[in-house]
């Protein structure tokens, strides 16, 4: 799971891509995603991947994207083998294998460059209820806090003689109970305090709260989206009207 989370967790960055409007980043990732589904030749797929690699480099996240790609390659290798066995078509098999990598990368780019704050804005844009959006925000906000809690509880229980790494599978699962109970109790108490603090700061006072952040499309937003649209158009054109565009 670590590779998966590593490829999808936001870390602060200061590239042009990080600064893009979150809506542009979402649109761009959706376009790249669909383009990979439409691409019917290795050439088209390579174009999409090159575009994504270029973006990642410009967003200074190439290293992390490359790591995601390397890990995904294990799965895509499996996809390739299965496809070769069943279709006996080498090109299609390669295409499917690369497509899997491309799909993961297209979503990964969105998540690693979009802060939870921006995700919240995107959710608001989709008119999700305020309570749902806020639940998401606090969940993300308290992940690091609960991780620290867990470490503290584990240390406390270990110091009282709890041996986490001992015994068979069932025993090990049972060993987690003294960790989980305090963690749950802690969280319930925390949620009570959170509710009080929310009331004290007028949560839910007006039906349509305002927002400190405002996003306006800039030239960079338009540029990135246009490039993705162009790529999408090539793939869509070749998908509907002509034979796949292959290497010249």
Partner 1 sequence: MADILRVEGLSFRYPDSPKSAVSDFELSIPEGEIVVLAGPSGCGKSTLLRAVNGLIPHMYGGEYSGDVLVAGSSVKSSNMRDLAQTVGFLFQNPENQIFMFSVERDVAFGLENLGVPREEMRARVDEALRLLRIGDLAQRAPHELSDGQKQRVALAGVLAMRPKLVILDEPTSLLDPKTASELVALVAKLRGELGTTFVVVEHRLDLLVEVADRLVVMDGGRKVLEGTPMDVLFDNEAEAHGVAIPAVAKVQRLLAEREAGKAAAAKLLTPSALALAVEGRLT
Binding residues for partner 1, rule: CB under 8 A, are: 12, 115-117, 120, 134, 137-138, 140-141, 144-145, 190, 193-206, 208-214
Q: In whole angstroms, what is the distance from residue 192 CA to residue 180 CA?
A: 19
Nearest-angstrom CA–CA distance, 12 and 37: 30
Cβ proximity to partner 1, 144 vs 248, nearer residue:
144
Q: Write down the least CB distance from residue 59 to partner 1, Å.
A: 18
Compute the half-sphere exposure of residue 125: CA atoms within 13 Å on the CB side of its CA.
15
- The minimum distance between CB 8 and partner 1, in angstroms, equals 16
Q: Name the residue nearer to partner 1 (CB basis): 198 or 222.
A: 198
Separation of alpha carbons 129 and 124, rounded Å: 8
The nearer residue to partner 1, 5 or 168, going by C-beta atoms, is: 5
Q: Which of 37, 46, 32, 36 is nearest to 247 (CA)?
A: 46
Looking at the Cβ atoms of 137 and 183, the one nearer to partner 1 is 137
Q: Which two tokens stand for residue 147?
A: 């991780």
At closest approach, how far in Å is the CB of 153 from partner 1? 16
Closest C-alpha among 60, 57, 40, 51 to residue 106: 51
Residue 91: CB minimum distance to partner 1, A: 45
Place of tokens 């989370």: 5
**Shortest gap between Cβ of 43 and partner 1 (angstroms)?**
41
């Amino acid at each position: 799971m670590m590779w998966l989370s590593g490829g999808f967790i936001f870390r602060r960055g200061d590239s042009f891509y990080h600064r893009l409007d979150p809506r542009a980043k979402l649109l761009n990732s959706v376009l790249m995603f669909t383009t990979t589904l439409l691409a019917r030749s290795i050439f088209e797929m390579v174009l999409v991947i090159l575009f994504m690699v270029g973006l990642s480099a410009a967003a200074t996240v190439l290293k992390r994207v490359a790591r995601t790609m390397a890990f995904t390659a294990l799965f895509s290798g499996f996809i390739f083998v299965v496809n070769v066995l069943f279709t006996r078509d080498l090109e299609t098999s390669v295409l499917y294998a690369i497509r899997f990598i491309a799909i993961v990368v297209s979503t990964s780019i969105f998540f690693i460059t979009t802060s939870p704050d921006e995700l919240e804005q995107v959710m608001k844009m989709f008119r999700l209820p305020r309570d749902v959006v806020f639940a998401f925000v606090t969940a993300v906000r308290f992940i690091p806090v609960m991780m620290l809690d867990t470490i503290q509880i584990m240390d406390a229980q270990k110091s009282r003689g709890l041996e986490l790494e001992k015994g068979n599978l069932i025993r090990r699962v049972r060993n987690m109970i003294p960790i989980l109970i305090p963690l749950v109790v802690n969280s319930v108490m925390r949620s009570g305090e959170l509710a009080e603090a929310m009331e004290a700061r007028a949560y839910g006072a007006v039906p349509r709260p305002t927002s400190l952040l405002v996003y306006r499309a800039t030239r960079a937003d338009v540029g990135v989206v246009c490039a993705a649209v162009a790529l999408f158009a090539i793939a869509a054109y070749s998908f509907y009207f002509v034979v796949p565009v292959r290497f010249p």
